[in-house]
Structure 1
Amino acid sequence: MQNRMSSTSNPVAAVCQMTSTPDKEANFSVGKRLVEAAREGGASMVFLPEAFDYIGSSRDETLALAESLTGDTISRYTQLASKLNVWLSLGGFHERGHDWENDRRIYNSHVIINDQGSLAAVYRKSHLFDVELPGRGVSLKESAFTIPGPALAPPVQTPIGKVGLGICYDLRFPELSLALQRQGADILTYPSAFTVATGAAHWEVLLRARAVETQCYVLAAAQVGRHHTTRASWGHALAVDPWGAVVGDCGGGEKEGSGNGGMVLVEVDLEKVRETRRNMPVQEHRRDAGFYRGLEAAVDNT
């Protein structure tokens, strides 16, 4: 577990990783320990990964363990946030769908809890991971049991700045990150459970690209290690600054102890966001949407 105390007046964020299993009680024990350690280290906001609540070993188990936002898991985290006076980003909660009794489908929901223990925002994952990579050991179809979220959530004002919410596969869609930046985000967050194959190839480069193109901090909590016999995650929970530099990395499965939970503490310097944008005003240079649509139409007509 890596801790770095703040040497300035900048707020501190804790970016965490863990190895969720189908055992919800054990997962909460790890999550609670991470939040407590982060608060002790001076963090005012703690980021937990996608599937912090559990990772099921089958479709049936995944659905059987799902809860509503008023269920025991979120209730325990709201109590923890209130007790420790800390904000939480719970990066991918298996939320029962609104028509649960009829269709038994879920949302993959990013839940923000404030330091009073109240829900500050809920974003339901827009882009679902339906991917087959023959020869790389990746075969997942999230849409088989998950409902895509209907819309983006506006960035949330927190003690570390305005946070724009995504989840895992959303990372591959720059349109989402740019939309959140236009709505005022200083920080983007992509809590994830990246597969080992896709993580090794794309995780860091995508996170750094999202930071560079939006000139935001990017904070990405992650799952790491083996969850059960058929599922493993890449790890390397990262924090990236607005220039695209990695300022925190929890390491991957090769790091001793990484499967038992870890974190990095990162100072969030909002002046660095403003300075980066002043020095290279990319957003001011961007042409309007009509310009790009015109270019697409010209290409289609050639």
Structure 2
Amino acid sequence: MKVAALQMVSTPDVGANLDAAWQLLQQASDAGAELAALPEYFCAMGLRDTDKLGLREAFGQGPIQDFLARAARELGLWIVGGTLPLAADDDQHVHNSSLVFSPDGDCVARYDKIHLFRYDNGRERYDEAQVIAAGHEPVQLDITDRGGERWRLGLSVCYDLRFPELYRAQQGCDLLLVPSAFTHTTGQAHWEILLRARAIENQAYVLAPAQGGHHANGRHTWGHSLAVDPWGQVLAEIVQGPGLALAQLDRQRLQSVRAQLPALQHRIL
């Protein structure tokens, strides 16, 4: 199955971001991808964290969800919808949610980001918990490609990448999704190392679409959207700016890695 990690440099303008996302999804479809994954905050990188509150949608309805459903249906793609703000239990928070849409345009999975990013080095400060309500449950799902092959997907978002226990809870996944908006500082230090580690220790493919560039809010995101194979080899990468990283998932390669080094069978804890 061919997959695509879509890299964006999202702005505060939702309409412009959706137009940019459509163009990338169209490119992925034209290139033969069956699954395309958008980055975290693909629909908007606001000027303030609280801008997310004004964009929140109820689960199952809203223009951003309508866009994802229409794109999946019209382009015939499995779409991992990066993240978008969904209503939480109070008006001061939203869930940072990743939705998966089938080629029929149906939403078949929802994952609310569990681990909330906080960072302060004296120059940059982030605290997602101020406006984001954490999720609580790991999510995995099975999809079927056009050839009838079944693939098990594990969902995660950005900062989740630093918590390997989440991925251990998604046993048996063939493909781990990590839509992200890593800062330039933390991405330069840790992004590729963490992605390759998650692929190696879970003997799974990893697809990580990211924000990559300078944003209107002053944030600089690392980019380097990656596809990684179960041995930790980088299959595709786009460094900065909008674009897509394409990779072919190979069931035989997956089985070979797991058979030659059956580490998953050797787990004790």
Q: TM-score, normalised by structure 1?
A: 0.85
Map 1:287-302; keep pairs closer than 5 Å. 287=268, 289=269
Tell me if structure 1 keeps the 8 A contact 2:46–2:217.
no
Residue identity over aligned pairs, in percent, reads 38
Map 1:20-39; keep pairs closer than 5 Å. 20-39=10-29
**1:76 Cα offset (Å):** 1.5
> Structure 2: how far apart are the matches of 1:94 and 1:198?
23
Tell me if structure 2 keeps the 8 A contact 1:63–1:105.
yes
Tell me if structure 1 keeps the 8 A contact 2:111–2:139.
yes
Query: Which position in structure 2 is the counterpart of 1:81?
Result: 72
The alignment yields a C-alpha RMSD, in angstroms, of 1.2
Map 1:47-66; keep pairs closer than 5 Å. 47-66=37-56
- 1:235 and 2:216 correspond: no
- Aligned residue among 13, 18, 26 for 2:3: 13
> Structure 2: how far apart are the matches of 1:73 and 1:283?
38
Q: Please give the per-residue CA displacement for 1:270-297, whole angstroms capped at 9, x wherever unaligned.
A: 211111010000011111x3xxxxxxxx
Q: Which runs of 5+ in 1 are unaligned?
A: 1-10, 253-257, 290-302
Three-state SS of the structure 1 residue aligned to 2:245 is strand
- 1:161 and 2:161 correspond: no
Q: Please give the per-residue CA displacement for 1:183-214, whole angstroms capped at 9, x wherever unaligned.
A: x2101011000000000000000000000100
**1:158 Cα offset (Å):** 4.2
Query: Which position in structure 1 is the counterpart of 2:120?
Result: 132
Larger Rg: 1
> Structure 2: how far apart are the matches of 1:244 and 1:12?
18
Tell me if structure 2 keeps the 8 A contact 1:218–1:241.
yes
- 1:91 and 2:72 correspond: no
Q: Which has the higher helix share?
A: 1
- 1:185 and 2:170 correspond: no
Three-state SS of the structure 2 residue aligned to 1:78 is helix
Q: TM-score, normalised by structure 2?
A: 0.95
Tell me if structure 2 keeps the 8 A contact 1:96–1:104.
no
Three-state SS of the structure 2 residue aligned to 1:265 is strand
Extract structure 1 runs of 4+ deviating beyond 3 A: none
Q: Which runs of 5+ in 2 are unaligned?
A: none
- Aligned residue among 266, 277, 291 for 2:247: 266
Tell me if structure 1 keeps the 8 A contact 2:48–2:217.
no
> Structure 2: how far apart are the matches of 1:229 and 1:166?
25
> Structure 1: how far apart are the matches of 2:225 and 2:138?
23
> Structure 1: how far apart are the matches of 2:144 and 2:93?
31
> Structure 1: how far apart are the matches of 2:243 and 2:79?
16
